[in-house]
Amino acid sequence: MQDRMRPLIAGNWKMNGTGAALEQIAKLKTLLEEAGNIESDVLVCPPATLLHRAAQSAEGSPIRIGGQDCHSNPNGAHTGDVSATMLFDAGASHVILGHSERRTDHGETSQAVNEKVQAALSAGLIPIVCVGETEAQRLDGTANQVVNEQLSTSLPDNFGKTRIIIAYEPVWAIGTGRTPTLDDIAQMHAHIRTLLVSRFGSTGENALLLYGGSVKPSNAEEILGTADVNGALVGGASLLANDFFSIIVAT
Ligand code: PEP
């Protein structure tokens, strides 16, 4: 049986927040300071426009800052895009890649995610790769197969040399208030673990598997206590410091 890994609680602010939202980082910093010894790593992924200021606000605290996407090239003629190098330069340590909203809104394929993962690794960022099935895929019994395909294509072979972080986010649970049963979460995390171990060996054993999709203060403890769940990727409930803090201390 594996020793308990230090969990990661990551907040994805999506396209929410202007300068005023930085107050939430300051508040979270205070809550974490007051709490003292926290048993999780904490990451906040604000919109790119806030990243640098968020990193400055988080200075001197355990809060780390991440991006929500990056381009696969380090620079060049890609109007409107942000590279992994730029995220790193602005103060990011991590980047979320392959979020279902990117896959849907921007037609992002697993091959494109693979290239972004390589760019993130070259820039010194830790990628958090998102996978997950739609409701139709869960209902027709192909959830495992969909996740297999997403994982096998999205992860480059050299991913095995670094820390792997995967977020299992069933698309139908994101922002809906609905979550899978704890058994379904445990089953999918075990499935992902098996795939990672067979491809990456001990690096797969030590991969952090986050669950994402309608995690909130009221369900965090049971979800985070589920087998093979090593943290959470939190959308809506990460926008307010008090809610996000309640999830952080539920580990
Ligand atoms: C997400 O966007 O990654 C997410 C999990 O959102 P929510 O927590 O709002 O469902």
Segment 88-107, tens digit of pLDDT: 999 999 999 999 999 999 99
Q: Is 122 helix (H, G, I), strand (E, B) or coil?
A: helix
* Residue 251 to residue 236: CA distance in whole angstroms: 18
pLDDT band at 144 (very low <50, low <70, confident <90, very high): very high
pLDDT band at 251 (very low <50, low <70, confident <90, very high): confident
Residue 94: strand pairing partners: 66, 126
Token pair 């995220």 is at which residue? Answer: 87
Indicate whether 120 pLDDT > 80. yes
* Greatest Cα-to-Cα distance within the chain, rounded to the nearest angstrom: 49
The answer to whether the CB of 177 is under 6 A from ligand 1 is no
Q: Cβ distance 166 to 196 under 8 Å? A: yes
- Token pair recorded at residue 88: 């790193």
Is 99 labeled as catalytic in the residue annotation? yes
Query: What does the DSSP 8-state code read for residue 4?
Result: P
Query: 64: which residues sit within 8 A by CB, 6+ positions away?
Result: 41, 42, 43, 44, 58, 93, 94
Indicate whether 61 pLDDT > 90. yes
The answer to whether the CB of 174 is under 6 A from ligand 1 is yes
pLDDT band at 200 (very low <50, low <70, confident <90, very high): very high
Indicate whether 73 pLDDT > 60. yes
Domain boundaries, the chain: 8-15+22-248
What pTM was estimated for this model as a whole? 0.97
pLDDT band at 62 (very low <50, low <70, confident <90, very high): very high
Ranges of beta strands (E only) in 144-226 are 165-168, 208-212
94 φ, ψ (degrees, to nearest 5): -130, 165
Is 52 labeled as catalytic in the residue annotation? no
Reported as a single tens digit per residue, the pLDDT across 149-183 is 999 999 999 887 788 999 999 999 999 999 999 99
Distance set, CA 146 to CA 56, 172, 202 (Å): 39, 14, 24
The answer to whether the CB of 65 is under 6 A from ligand 1 is no
Indicate whether 3 pLDDT > 80. no
The answer to whether the CB of 17 is under 6 A from ligand 1 is no
CATH of domain 8-15+22-248: 3.20.20.70
Indicate whether 1 pLDDT > 80. no
Token pair 């445990």 is at which residue? Answer: 186
Indicate whether 2 pLDDT > 60. no
Which residue in 99, 101, 133, 189 is the catalytic one? 99
Query: What does the DSSP 8-state code read for residue 3?
Result: P
Taking the centre of ligand 1 as the mean of its atom positions, its distance from the CA of residue 250, in whole angstroms, is 17
CA-closest candidate to residue 214, choices 183, 188, 243, 242: 243
Q: Which atom of ligand 1 is nearest to the CA of 174?
A: 10
Say what the pLDDT of residue 117 is. 97
* Residue 162 to residue 175: CA distance in whole angstroms: 30
Query: 232: which residues sit within 8 A by CB, 6+ positions away?
Result: 7, 9, 10, 210, 211, 212, 215, 220, 223, 224, 247
Identity at 239, one-letter amino acid code: L
CA 83 to chain centre: 18
